[in-house]
Amino acid sequence: MSVLIDNVAGFTVTEGLLDFVISENSSQYRAFSGSAVDGVEYAYKAKFSDGTTAGYETGKGIYTLATNSISRTTIFTSSNANARVDFAPGQKFVALVSDKETIESESGTALLSLANTWTAVNTFNDSVTVGGSVTVGGSVTAQNIDGWLAQFPAGRPIFIVGTGQSNSTGRGPNVSVTTNTNVKDWASDGSGGAQTWRTPNTETATVKADYSAAADYIGYKEGQFGNIHISMANFIAQRSGRTVYVLQVGRDGAPSAYWNPAVQPAGQATYTTLKDAMTAVLATTELTTWSIDKPDILNIMQGESDAGALLALFPTSPTLGGDTWADNWLSYMKNASTNWFAENHTRVFVYDVSDTANWGPTSQPNAPWRWNGVSALVETGGNFFEYVSSVGIPVGAGAEEVHFSGIGSNLQGEIGAKIALGEISPASPVLTRGHPTFNRVKVWTGTTVATASATDSIVIGTFEMAPSSSSRYSGIATLESLGADDAIFAQWTLNVIPIFGILVSATLGLPFGHNPAGGAHDPVSPPMLSIETGGVTATGVQLTVTGQIGRGTQKHRLTFVYNDISGI
C-alpha cells in the first residue's frame, strides 16, 4: 500500500523503461530528497513537462534516497495500454500523488459531522457516498471494501479454527443453510475414517455416524445442525469470493479444563486433539501453498459447564468465576505448545453463553446476576479479541435454554463474520473484570406436601449454608402453586437453626399475593431474601422455612436463588 505525502514533485530526463531519477527540483513543489522516505512506496504520475508531447504514466514504486529515484514497480494507467511507457527523450514532470487503492485501503476511525447535524464516530468499511458537506473534527482514515481482508494477497484463503462445547458443535437441528462450495471443513466422511478437506453438507438431516457427544469431535456433525463456524465461513466466502478453511474441534459438556495443556487426563484431552488436528491441517497443500501456518480467526464458544451452577444446570456443582475462567483460557492460548492461536495475528471471537440462561431462564426464577467470563476474556485479551453478544439470539425451549437454536448458532456465526469484515461493530461487553456477584451462586428449592387444613403451619424445606465470619447472603425467592386449586398464602417465616449456637437473622419480604387460578403467585413486593450472620465460626447453618397456607390440597414450592455477598 502506498504512503500519502503532500506536494512533492520534480523533473527527470530518464528515457525508455528505466526507473525515474529525479535530476531537478521544482520551485512550486517540495523536493523528493528531504521529503520522501528511503525505501517507502509512493504512488506517482509522470508526463512530459512541455504539456504537448504525448505520453503519461501513473503507478507506484519505491523511493531510493541514494539515487534520488523512484521505481516503476506497478503501473495503474498509461498511454501504453496501462503498461510501462517507453519514454522518448525530453524532460518529464514526476509528482507523488494519492491513488485509488491507498485511499480505499486506509483503515481507522473518523469523527463526522454531516448534514442535519448528525454526529457520530464511524469506521469506514465500505464505499461511502457523501451528498453534502462534511465537517471533519479529527483525524480521518478509512478502510477499503475488503476491510480486514485487505492485508491478505488476492486469492489467499482464510483459515478459521473453532472450538468449544455443545454450542460450538451445534445443538439446534432442522436448520438448512446452503453452504458455499468455497467453504472447506476438516472432517471425516462420517464412518470414522481420516479427516480431509470437505465441503460440509448442511442440508442432510442425518448426523454423522461417528459423532459422539461423549468424545472430542473434529468437523461438522451434519444433521442440519446450526454451526457458528460454518456459518461464519459461509458468510466470508460469499462476501469475498475466497476459499475459507475451517478446523473445528468440540466436546459436548466439556469445562474449560479440557483445554488446559498442563493437565490432560484420559478422556479430557481436547487441547491435545485440537493441537494434533492443527498439525495435520497445517501440512496440507491447501494451506502450505499460501504459507499459512497459523489461524486467521479463532472462535471460542465455551463456558456453559464452568458457569453450570449459575445457569441452574448443575445446582450442586461449583461455578468457576468469570475472571478465573478468562485468565485460564488466556494462559491456555499463550502456552508455548499451542499452535491454534498466534498473538498479534489471530483474531479471537468469543461468543457469550446464552443470555436467556445467563440472566435467568423462564423455567427458573429470575436472578440478579450475569456470568462475566466472556466479557473478562475480551477485556483481558486486548485489541485482537472481539465480543459476540448473545442478547436476542434464539435459544431452545425449557431445559434447552442454555443451547442456541439452529437459527441462533448460524446467526452468531454471521454476526462474527460481519464484525470480521468490518460491516458491523462488535458489541461492548456488558460486564467487566471483578464483577462481585459471581462464582458463589446457589439454588435451593423446597416443596410442601399436600394438606387439607386451612391453618396448618408446614415446613416447606430445609437447606444448609457454610458461612464464614460475618457472612451475608442475598437473593430472590419465588413461590408457586403446583396444583389448580385456589390457595391463599399467609405469612412465611425463616427459622434459622444455628449450628454451635451461632445467632443468625433472616427476613423474607412478604406477603405473597393471591392467585385464584393457581400457578405462580406474584408478591405484593419483591420477595428478597436476606440472611446475615455475625461472628460465625461454625461450619454450617441450617435454615427451615415454614408457613401457613389457605384452603386447598395442592402442593407449593418455594425457591431461593441466593448469593454469598460477604465482603461486598
Q: Per mean pLDDT, which range of 153-162, 214-223, 264-273 is the poorest?
A: 264-273
Q: What CATH number is associated with residue 445?
A: 2.60.120
Separation between Cα atoms, residue 62 and residue 36, nearest integer Å: 10
Top pLDDT among 31 and 440 is at 31
Residue 432 domain-assigned?
A: no
- For 66, other C-beta atoms within 10 Å of its C-beta total 6
Q: Which of 52-61, 288-297, 543-552 is most confident?
A: 288-297
Residues 68 and 88 in one domain: yes
Last residue of a domain, one of 421, 451, 482: 421
Instruction: Say if residue 368's pLDDT is above 50.
Output: no
Residues 336 and 453 in one domain: no
Residues 377 and 445 in one domain: no
Instruction: Say if residue 318's pLDDT is above 60.
Output: no
| 16 neighbors 87 (Cβ within 8 angstroms) | yes
Separation between Cα atoms, residue 128 and residue 471, nearest integer Å: 58
Residues 283 and 248 in one domain: yes
Residue 4 domain-assigned?
A: no
In the DSSP assignment, the letter for residue 296 is S
Residues 398 and 504 in one domain: no
As for how many domains the chain has, the answer is: 4
Last residue of a domain, one of 365, 389, 421: 421
Q: Per mean pLDDT, which range of 245-249, 373-377, 388-392, 468-472 is the poorest?
A: 468-472
Residue 98 domain-assigned?
A: yes
Render the burial of 203-226: b for 16+ CB within 10 Å, e for the rest: eeeeebebbeeeebbbbbbbbbbb
Residues 309 and 453 in one domain: no
Residues 73 and 131 in one domain: no
Share of the chain above pLDDT 90, in %: 41
Residue 150 domain-assigned?
A: no
Residues 84 and 129 in one domain: no
- 227: which 3 cell numbers? 454451526
pLDDT tens-digit profile of 253-288? Answer: 888 999 999 887 766 789 999 999 999 999 999 999
- What pLDDT score does 402 carry? 82
- What pLDDT score does 431 carry? 72
- What pLDDT score does 1 carry? 62
- What pLDDT score does 519 carry? 40
Longest CA pairwise span in the chain (Å): 115
Instruction: Say if residue 217's pLDDT is above 90.
Output: yes
In the DSSP assignment, the letter for residue 539 is S
Instruction: Say if residue 319's pLDDT is above 90.
Output: no
- What pLDDT score does 99 carry? 76
Q: What is the pTM of this model?
A: 0.56
pLDDT bracket for residue 125 (50, 70, 90): very low
Residue 429 domain-assigned?
A: no
pLDDT bracket for residue 213 (50, 70, 90): confident
Last residue of a domain, one of 421, 451, 468: 421
Residues 202 and 300 in one domain: yes
Q: Per mean pLDDT, which range of 119-133, 232-246, 345-359, 506-520 is the poorest?
A: 506-520
Residue 479 domain-assigned?
A: yes
Residues 358 and 219 in one domain: yes
Share of the chain above pLDDT 70, in %: 62
- What pLDDT score does 448 carry? 55
Residues 314 and 452 in one domain: no
Q: What CATH number is associated with residue 401?
A: 3.40.50.1110
| Residue span of the structural domain in which 117 resides | 106-145
Top pLDDT among 27 and 379 is at 379
Top pLDDT among 566 and 277 is at 277
Residue whose grid cell is 526507473: 19
Residue 352 domain-assigned?
A: yes
- 555: which 3 cell numbers? 402442593
Instruction: Say if residue 447's pLDDT is above 90.
Output: no
pLDDT tens-digit profile of 398-415? Answer: 667 788 999 999 999 999
Can you tell me whether residue 130 is helix, strand or coil? coil
Residue 462 domain-assigned?
A: yes
What's the mean pLDDT when you consider all of the chain? Answer: 73
Residues 111 and 98 in one domain: no
